Structure 1
């Protein structure tokens, strides 16, 4: 059973992606069965190549005759790589820096209040949390009420999700 092609990443398109000498294309493959990788997960293979040595990409990619499940077969999409800087988790920063961040966030709220003509819900400076999960649970309702609010934890520290955005082809 051949490995399935998952991604082709050109070094010209991905900031800071550097391959071995002369290689400018990283190809990502995986086995369509969850039983072959570590801890019975999908086995992933990374292969560096020179783009000029790779032939035409097969479109559409051939479907495997059998797979461990529908989630084991990649869905075609387009990646839009971008550099994201994650800053230290708030609870790990010194007290002085946490206070400075709280003051900065309050100043942003004050600026928003000055620009708003409607009264919005009151907001307080963020507390320190032991884990990111505690922070997420404590702020979920507040973020839903004010989705445009900017704060250190949600906007500057600990980028969410899989660190990439995928868009179906043609969108």
Structure 2
């Protein structure tokens, strides 16, 4: 087992422990290659709907998947984050790290979240091997998203009750 020492935050005594079970062995066991399918788009564009439908379809074909829905992750792991710009970036970074762990385990991880900034998505792509990050943009007109408005965000924004909606 290899031991990799790196600087994490302000700490220098955090060590990455490699396991004797390799990524390839996990993929062979599952008979699939782990990857991340990153679905992004406006609120109400159908990201979660597509993620769940894709998960169901792959499951019916014998593939192991897991959906990391942005709202669901904010209920637990990211419940300490606000919607300020820096916390939005941290939300995406954390989800990217978790998605990578799933992919390393051989799971097809379907991440479904509003991630409007290319730099944040590129940072998530960069931590995965080439070809293991598949980005899907839900290109749905704003008017359609606003008509759906599943969370009432557009209505609140139009009423001036919330600002900086990242739709």
Query: Does TM, normalized by the shorter one, top 0.5?
Result: no
Query: Which protein has the larger Cα radius of gyration, Structure 1 or Structure 2?
Result: 1
TM normalised by structure 1 equals 0.25
Q: TM-score, normalised to structure 2's length?
A: 0.25
- Larger strand fraction of residues: 2
Larger RCO (alpha carbons 8 Å, 6+ apart): 2
Larger helix percent: 2
